[in-house]
Amino acid sequence: QQPGDGVLLSCPCRMLLLVNPQSGKGQALTLYNSQIKPMLNDAGIRHTMLPTEHQNHAREFVKGADLSQWDALVIMSGDGLLYEVINGLLERSDWEEAIRTPLGILPGGSGNALAASIHHYSGASPVFGEDLLVSCGFLLCRAAVFPMDLVSVHLSSGQRLFSFLSLAWGFVADVDVESEKYRHFGSARFTVGTLVRLASLRIYRGRLAYLPAGSSTVLHRGAPLPVQSCPSRNSNNSVTLRRTEGGPPDSLLPPLDQPLPDDWVAVREQDFVLMLAMHQSHLAEDLLAAPDASLSDGVIHLFYVTAGISRAALLRLFRAMEKGTHLAAPCQHLVHAKVRALRLEPLSPKGVITVDGEVVEYGPLQAEAHRGLARMISG
């Protein structure tokens, strides 16, 4: 995180807490009452608690809300509810303003990867479950706001969405989906899911390409601009910059059915076990997938594992990921690259792709990092 960032919210501040009563083990409301409410009251933070009633409730709510009433929107759930809120904010006609609303996260779900990342960035040693909740509660009370990267994702149907955490295909996406039924285990659902999926390891054929992080090429000049200085009119590139619906324009991606520029790296067509693109450090509370990621490095940490890896080696890799040491021990089937954009073309007829742990349509996809597009209360 850069010096000069980390703006403190003005006091007294007003927060809206969106709590998903069904997330994780179904204890979010109880934990709100026992842990968070007293903490916020002691810190003198005025807040309104709104329990979500159904899927997409939070998304529709933030799309239509008068955001000027609150200094921050806080999500107490898993990563799924924050995904709704971020996409809801970017669907507004005033998205440039709306996406700068400070956001907060309190881990109440079974997949609390962003909460774990934020705790990690604070420099504290790892904690889990209720201890992680308390740590994130303290960070929330400190109310220091930092920029956070978002990644724009294009699907083959033409749909565009925004991701704050991860894109996954193959092993990790399969575990994400299959472990939904172990949600009542809390974050242990991923450990159980990983062991089950290892027992019947699958491979997927596909093509992958990426633009390395060092590259300076811009396909469409003038965009994207840093949010802080994004003009809405009177620029030489007014055609691109005037677009006001649905988030900032992408500058690195040709249409999904068009060839990629020469400075992209094409990985040869082959069989993969997994593709995982991480925008933050943690894939789950206990999986430090991208140890050197930070909140707004502007980088997508791309990992892929090619076919031929043994079950034992894959298990070792995930065990090492618990401590974030998987990149230190050499594994010839694991590749890591820091990228600004990527394109994935799955060729196996069936499979699962997830964005921030949520299933999206299966097919070709491409993505581009937007540095510091959102604002997050962090350590």
Which residues are tagged catalytic?
A: 79
For 229, the 3-state DSSP assignment is: helix
The rounded distance, in Å, linking the Cα atoms of 155 and 332 is 30
| Radius of gyration for the chain, computed over Cα atoms and rounded to the nearest angstrom | 20
Give the nearest distance from C-beta 235 to Mg ion in angstroms: 39
**Of 20, 117, 251, 296, which one interacts with ligand ADP (CB under 6 A)?**
20
372: left (phi over 0), alpha (psi -120 to 50) or beta: left
Site size toward ligand ADP (CB under 6 A) is 20
Length of the chain: 379
CA–CA distances in Å: residue 352 to residues 81, 162, 201, 348: 20, 18, 14, 10
The rounded distance, in Å, linking the Cα atoms of 269 and 255 is 20
Residues in contact with ligand ADP, shown as a per-residue x/- string from 194 to 223 under the rule CB under 6 A: ------------------------------
Judged by CB under 6 A, the stretch of 14-22, 120-128, 300-308, 338-346 that binds ligand ADP is: 14-22
Task: Based on the shown chain and the rule CB under 6 A, indicate whether residue 354 belongs to the binding site for ligand ADP.
Answer: no
Name the residue with the smallest CB distance to ligand ADP: 78
Closest CA to 265 of 217, 331, 316: 217
Cross-strand partners of 4: none
Task: Based on the shown chain and the rule CB under 5 A, indicate whether residue 170 belongs to the binding site for Mg ion.
Answer: no
Crossing angle of helices 171-178/189-199, nearest 10°? 120
Give the nearest distance from C-beta 113 to ligand ADP in angstroms: 9
Residues in contact with ligand ADP, shown as a per-residue x/- string from 138 to 177 under the rule CB under 6 A: ----------------------------------------
**Given the complex with ligand ADP, which of 250 and 358 has the nearer CB atom?**
358
Task: Based on the shown chain and the rule CB under 6 A, indicate whether residue 375 belongs to the binding site for ligand ADP.
Answer: no
Residues in contact with ligand ADP, shown as a per-residue x/- string from 29 to 58 under the rule CB under 6 A: -----------------------xxxx-x-
Task: Based on the shown chain and the rule CB under 6 A, indicate whether residue 84 belongs to the binding site for ligand ADP.
Answer: yes
User: Considering CB distances under 5 to 8 angstroms, the limit depending on partner class, which of Mg ion, ligand ADP, none binds residue 55?
Assistant: ligand ADP
| Residue the block writes with tokens 């802080």 | 228
Q: Determine the straight-line distance between the first and last CA of the chain, rounded to whole angstroms.
A: 10
Give the nearest distance from C-beta 83 to ligand ADP in angstroms: 7
Contact 185, 192 (CB under 8 A): yes
The rounded distance, in Å, linking the Cα atoms of 232 and 242 is 6
Contact positions vs ligand ADP (CB under 6 A): 20-24, 52-55, 57, 77-81, 84, 109-111, 183
**Using CB under 5 A as the criterion, which residues of the chain lie in contact with Mg ion when the complex forms?**
78, 80, 111, 357
